[in-house]
Amino acid sequence: MNQLKVNEHRLEQLFLSLCQINSPSLQESDITNWTKRYLLDFGLEVREDEAGSKIGGNANNIIAHLPASKQGLPKVFLSAHFDTVEPTPELVIQESNGVWTAATDTILGADDKGGMAPAIEAVLSLKEMNVSHGDVYLLLSVAEEIGLKGADALDIQSLELDYGFVLDTGPPVGSFVNQTATHDKLEILIHGKPAHAGKDPENGINAIQVLAEAVCHMPLGRIDHETTANLGVVSGGTAVNVVCPFVNVRAEARSLSVDKLDKQVAEMVKCFESAARKFGTTVTIEHDRHYRSYQISDESRVAKIARRASEKVGLDFALRYTLGGSDANIYNAKGVETLVMATGMEKIHTHEERISREDLVKTAKLALSVLLESAEISR
């Protein structure tokens, strides 16, 4: 990797400090307040929006601004999210051979603090360099893990940005996500009929049996290379001696192809409804298109910036797709061209989550490089 410089000690300390702050979705006020003070101390313009009141959380999105040193250059942003997929109370971080993991029985929080720390460090490093640049923004969102809620509440259009990068996917660093899936959510209520399980079970309709019948005929898991489907949460019943009167099911399906997704969802609905008819009952199904896919051309300005930036820091550039979602889905849907930049976070959403010091530094240098390339700086 070439000699592009970031403050590696500051970056590492920032990452570790962010991880130590417990920040589950809708409860991010401690980390947003800490980060706001941190950014103000380094001289950035910082404000927060009103996302918290809109989504039922105790914190807002943070918007930090490094004003342009030269007019007429692109207005760009780097983005990451505060919240973690589960709480991290009393987190203890351990390091072995340059790799950080949680010593406690919890996630580390590298998703997405392994993206946030490099994004912040890149902007601070740019501020400290004697170079021309356009307006640069940090968009730091809340409630990403529970449905991209913070990004959805963010009025990104008012910033009049040209394009940006969301630092929120796994390695290899140097790769960028330019295509994602459309994601649908299903909420299913299976209506059973209660009866005493010992005295007259024949007078009841067991909603669990209806569910079992539906699942037996339902395509789930990996449908094809573009499509997946899952039943993720099941709850119901009232007592062990009562024929189960209801079951609630939360399900999802994703696909790079909207036609395939529509077909998969229709098949899932058909299975539930057919099972209900077989047992003489009904189901109530709510279907929501959670977020829509996007596909950024490899000839787009943002992709060309990403390629040049990766090459300048000695990384292998690649564009790839994923079936996972991120705030980039929302920003693209709102008309702001956005790529997802890979970071070093691995085994995310598990207690084996990890990130290396080397990848953390690579990510920060790459983020700085895209900001410099956006201004077409010669180094």
pLDDT at position 3: 64
Cα separation, 246 vs 281, in Å, equals 11
On the question of pLDDT at 379 being above 50, the answer is no
* Residue 144 appears among annotated catalytic residues: yes
Q: Using alpha carbons only, how large is the chain's radius of gyration in Å?
A: 23
Average predicted confidence (pLDDT) for the chain: 95
pLDDT band at 378 (very low <50, low <70, confident <90, very high): very low
Mark which of 270, 291, 312 sits at the end of a domain: 291
Can you give the residue range of the structural domain that contains 255?
182-291
Residue 29 sits in the same domain as residue 140: yes
Residue 272 sits in the same domain as residue 319: no
Closest CA to 110 of 138, 81, 89: 81
* Domain membership flag for residue 347: yes
pTM recorded for the entire structure: 0.88
Q: pLDDT by residue (tens digit) across 59-99?
A: 999 999 999 999 999 999 999 999 999 999 999 999 999 99
Q: What residues contact residue 354 under an 8 Å CB cut-off, 6+ apart? A: 99, 100, 101, 108, 110, 345, 346, 347
Q: How many domains does the chain have?
A: 2
165 and 306 in contact (C-beta within 8 Å)? yes
Q: pLDDT by residue (tens digit) across 210-248?
A: 999 999 999 999 999 999 999 999 999 999 999 999 999
pLDDT at position 291: 84
Mean pLDDT of all residues in 3-17: 94
pLDDT at position 85: 96
pLDDT band at 174 (very low <50, low <70, confident <90, very high): very high
On the question of pLDDT at 325 being above 90, the answer is no
CA 323 to chain centre: 11
* Domain membership flag for residue 274: yes
Residue 269 sits in the same domain as residue 163: no
CA torsion sign for 33, 39, 40, 46 is negative
Q: pLDDT by residue (tens digit) across 209-219?
A: 999 999 999 99
Mark which of 253, 268, 291 sits at the end of a domain: 291
Residue 50 sits in the same domain as residue 159: yes
* Domain membership flag for residue 112: yes
Mark which of 268, 291, 314 sits at the end of a domain: 291
Closest CA to 42 of 124, 98, 103: 124
CATH of residue 238's domain is 3.30.70.360
Work out the angle at residue 184's Cα, subtended by the Cα atoms of residues 233 and 271, and round it to the nearest 5 degrees.
65
pLDDT at position 62: 98
* Domain membership flag for residue 1: no
Residue 35 sits in the same domain as residue 118: yes
Residue 76 sits in the same domain as residue 128: yes
* Domain membership flag for residue 379: no
On the question of pLDDT at 275 being above 90, the answer is yes
CATH of residue 349's domain is 3.40.630.10
pLDDT at position 363: 98
Report helix, strand or coil for 233: strand
Residue 45 sits in the same domain as residue 139: yes
* Domain membership flag for residue 80: yes
pLDDT at position 292: 86
Q: pLDDT by residue (tens digit) across 17-59?
A: 999 999 999 999 999 999 999 999 999 999 999 999 999 999 9
Q: pLDDT by residue (tens digit) across 119-170?
A: 999 999 999 998 999 999 999 999 999 989 999 999 999 999 999 999 999 9
Cα separation, 368 vs 305, in Å, equals 12
* Domain membership flag for residue 30: yes
pLDDT at position 63: 98
Mean pLDDT of all residues in 337-363: 97
Residue 81 sits in the same domain as residue 40: yes
Give the active site residue among 49, 83, 145, 353. 83
* Domain membership flag for residue 55: yes
Residue 93 sits in the same domain as residue 149: yes
pLDDT at position 2: 54
Give the active site residue among 111, 112, 121, 144. 144
Residue 283 sits in the same domain as residue 229: yes
pLDDT at position 6: 96
On the question of pLDDT at 1 being above 70, the answer is no
On the question of pLDDT at 263 being above 50, the answer is yes
Q: pLDDT by residue (tens digit) across 300-312?
A: 999 999 999 999 9
81 and 140 in contact (C-beta within 8 Å)? yes
Residue 171 sits in the same domain as residue 186: no
Residue 163 sits in the same domain as residue 210: no
pLDDT band at 323 (very low <50, low <70, confident <90, very high): confident
